[in-house]
């Protein structure tokens, strides 16, 4: 066992989620043994919230939920509690992005990382109440999380006057009803309030007008769960991993045509090829058998093999290639896969999950799906490929939330990389019809 983390591998001590594989005790005893809670937590709770936010800012941690917005900056938008309206911290555990399953393993195998993160986060934001909104499908995981919360209450780590520091934090879990859009932060708030899960118009932003009209910060599970480790181990520890502006460790979820699909915590800026070769035993049929990779959940445009061989897995490197790190849900497709069919299927997913609020998304996503369905089978014309692109451009950036963008990027990515494949099928189909 190496004694020092490398660019591709983390030693156990450098991992935030040391029980991500579920091999050890998920309970409070196991977590404390792994360095959770303890005196160091007490020290953090005694630290001035402003200083905590400064530390988080200094670490440069970027949100792990997809958008990659700097956490410290987000936290600094929150007003201090004014005694009239309470502040809230809401944890977004509505992990719905296809290809992503990191939060699930945190919830079921290392739930106390999240609970500790909620305690610290609430303290830093001046919130006395935290909500964890979990997707409806994660029923068992929520039960596990609830047990962890109960354990924390019993140990005096939640509730009034935590560890004698005078900090009060209550944490509640809430199960969603399985809508993808409820992962969008303002739709999540609507759903949490008991309304139809539809994104809100911004401004006002949740930091001013969030849950029940009160200042609210919404963070991803992984983001929150990493905070205590950053504070305990120090900013320097955190920034040793990854390139500037992309520091830290990250859980990557690799699925699809790899020999060993897995959730793995690795340093940021690991190369995509290393990630697959080192942690997943390579692509099925070898690297040369690779056809395309979706790097960050189904919303991100795909990479071709050439790009996949060179790109580093971080926010900036992927953005330069016109895609994104997203949730780091890596979906690998080798040459046995019908990419057009996969993308049509993803398109169908977005058609099904659009909330229906904004015109372009409500009407357009279905249109795009139907076009994709036809063009996948070659039923169409080459002009319709341009039209498809045109339609995606008319949807992108014209809606309340980023859902429509996320629904259109993969289609645009497909057109970019597989236009030839579309044309081939159209030609074959027209020949077939001509013959008939």
Write the DSSP symbol of residue 159. Answer: E
> What span, in angstroms and rounded, lies between the C-alpha atoms of 226 and 345?
33
Considering just the CA atoms, what is the radius of gyration of the chain in Å? 22
Q: Please say whether the beta carbons of 272 and 313 come within 8 A.
A: yes
For the bound state, the minimum distance from the C-beta of residue 410 to another protein, rounded and expressed in Å, comes to 17
Of the residues 111, 329, 360, 406, which one makes contact with another protein according to CB under 8 A: 360
Q: Is 394 in the site for another protein (CB under 8 A)?
A: yes
- Regarding 255 and contact with another protein (CB under 8 A), the answer is no
Q: Which is nearer to another protein, 118 or 181 (CB)?
A: 181
- CA distance linking residue 41 with residue 311, whole number of Å: 37
| Residue with Cβ nearer another protein (6 or 381) | 381
Binding part of the chain for another protein, among 8-16, 159-167, 249-257, 398-406 by CB under 8 A, reads 398-406
Q: Does 400 bind another protein (CB under 8 A)?
A: yes
Going from the C-alpha of 156 to that of each of 37, 134, 151, 170, 172, the distances in angstroms are 11, 24, 9, 11, 16
Edge to edge, the sheet with strand 87-93 lists: 159-162, 167-175, 127-134, 87-93, 216-220
Tell me whether residue 258 or residue 391 sits nearer to another protein (CB atom).
391
Among 336, 341, 363, 427, binds another protein (CB under 8 A): 363
Q: What angle (nearest 5°) sits at the alpha carbon of residue 235, between those of residues 68 and 89?
A: 50
Alpha-carbon span 277 to 287, nearest angstrom: 8
Closest separation in Å from C-beta 407 to another protein: 10
Residue 264 to residue 273: CA distance in whole angstroms: 14
- Residue 365 touching another protein (CB under 8 A): yes
Pick the closer one to another protein by CB: 307 or 354: 354
**Token pair for residue 427?**
């030609």
- Regarding 97 and contact with another protein (CB under 8 A), the answer is no
Span of 42-50, 237-245, 262-270, 348-356 interacting with another protein by CB under 8 A: 348-356
> Minimum distance between the CB of residue 357 and another protein, rounded to whole angstroms?
5
Residue 314 as a binder of another protein (CB under 8 A): the answer is no
244 near another protein, judged by CB under 8 A:
no
Alpha-carbon distance of 372 to 385, in angstroms, equals 9
Per CB under 8 A, 354 contacts another protein: yes
Give the position of tokens 């401004």: 203
| Helix-strand-coil split of the chain, %, nearest 5 | 50, 15, 35
Q: How far is the CB of 393 from another protein (least distance, A)?
A: 8
Site for another protein (CB under 8 A): which residue of 163, 181, 290, 411? 181
List 164, 356, 428, 431, residue binding another protein (CB under 8 A): 356
Give the footprint of another protein on residues 128-167 (CB under 8 A).
none
Does residue 361 bind another protein (CB under 8 A)? yes
Structural contact between residues 100 and 94, judged by C-beta atoms closer than 8 angstroms: no
Span of 148-156, 306-314, 317-325, 356-364 interacting with another protein by CB under 8 A: 356-364
| Peptide bond preceding 204 in cis form (omega within 30 of 0) | yes
CA dist., res. 250 & res. 322, Å (int): 21
Listed residue (250, 264, 35, 223) closest to 114, CA to CA: 223
Give min distance, CB of 413 to another protein, in A.
Answer: 19
Among 8, 47, 245, 387, indicate the residue that binds another protein (CB under 8 A).
387
By CB under 8 A, tell whether 398 contacts another protein. yes
Strands ordered across the beta sheet of 290-294: 262-267, 249-256, 329-334, 290-294
Q: Is 426 in the site for another protein (CB under 8 A)?
A: no
- Are residues 170 and 158 in contact, defined by beta-carbon separation less than 8 angstroms? yes
CB of 277 to another protein, least distance (A): 37
Minimum Å gap between C-beta 355 and another protein is: 6
85 binds another protein (CB under 8 A): no
Instruction: Give 204's contacts (C-beta < 8 A, 6+ positions apart).
Output: none
Residue 9 burial class via C-beta count within 10 angstroms: exposed 0-12, middle 13-18, buried 19 and up: middle
**Please, which residue, 206 or 364, has the CB nearer to another protein?**
364
Binding to another protein by CB under 8 A, coded x per residue (else -) over 185-204, reads -----------x----x-x-
User: 202 to 221, contacts with another protein by CB under 8 A?
Assistant: 203
Q: How many residues bind another protein (CB under 8 A)?
A: 31
Give the torsion through C-alpha atoms of 118, 244, 292, 414, to 10 deg: 80
Name the minimum Å distance from CB 402 to another protein: 10
Residues engaged in binding another protein (CB under 8 A): 179, 181, 196, 201, 203, 351-367, 370-371, 387, 394-395, 397-400
């Amino acid at each position: 066992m190496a004694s020092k983390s490398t660019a591709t591998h983390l030693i156990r001590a450098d991992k935030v989620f040391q029980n991500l594989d579920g091999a050890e005790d998920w309970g409070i005893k196991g977590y404390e043994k792994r360095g959770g809670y303890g005196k160091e937590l007490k020290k953090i709770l005694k630290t001035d919230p402003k200083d905590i936010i400064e530390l988080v800012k200094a670490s440069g941690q970027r949100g792990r939920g997809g958008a990659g917005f700097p956490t410290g900056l987000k936290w600094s938008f929150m007003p201090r509690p004014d005694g009239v309206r309470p502040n809230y911290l809401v944890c977004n555990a509505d992990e719905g992005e296809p290809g992503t399953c990191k939060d699930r393993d945190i919830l079921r195998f290392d739930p106390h990382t999240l609970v500790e993160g909620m305690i610290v986060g609430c303290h830093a934001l001046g919130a006395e109440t935290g909500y964890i909104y979990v997707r409806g499908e994660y029923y068992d995981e929520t039960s596990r999380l609830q047990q962890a919360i109960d354990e924390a209450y019993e140990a005096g780590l939640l509730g009034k006057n935590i560890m004698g520091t005078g900090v009060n934090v209550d944490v509640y879990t809430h199960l969603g009803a399985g809508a993808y859009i409820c992962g969008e932060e303002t739709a999540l708030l609507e759903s949490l309030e008991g309304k139809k899960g539809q994104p809100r118009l911004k401004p006002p932003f949740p930091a001013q007008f969030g849950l029940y009209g009160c200042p609210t910060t919404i963070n991803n599970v992984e983001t929150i769960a990493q905070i205590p480790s950053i504070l305990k181990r120090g900013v320097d520890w955190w920034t040793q991993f990854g390139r500037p502006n992309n520091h830290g460790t990250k859980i990557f979820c690799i699925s699809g045509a790899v020999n060993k699909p897995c959730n793995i915590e690795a340093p940021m800026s690991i190369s995509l090829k290393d990630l697959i070769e080192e942690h997943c035993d390579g692509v099925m049929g070898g690297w040369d058998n690779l056809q395309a990779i979706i790097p960050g959940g189904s919303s991100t445009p795909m990479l071709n093999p050439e790009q996949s061989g060179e790109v580093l897995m971080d926010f900036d490197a992927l953005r330069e290639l016109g895609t994104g790190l997203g949730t780091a849900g890596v979906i690998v497709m080798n040459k046995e896969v019908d990419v057009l069919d996969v993308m049509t299927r993803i398109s169908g997913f977005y058609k099904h999950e659009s909330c229906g609020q904004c015109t372009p998304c409500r009407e357009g996503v279905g249109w795009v799906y139907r076009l994709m369905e036809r063009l996948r089978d070659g039923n169409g014309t080459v002009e319709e490929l341009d039209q498809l692109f045109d339609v995606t451009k008319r949807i992108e950036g014209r809606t309340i939330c980023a859902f429509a963008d996320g629904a259109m990027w993969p289609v645009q990515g497909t057109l970019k990389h597989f236009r030839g494949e579309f044309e081939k099928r159209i030609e074959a189909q027209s020949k077939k019809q001509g013959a008939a």
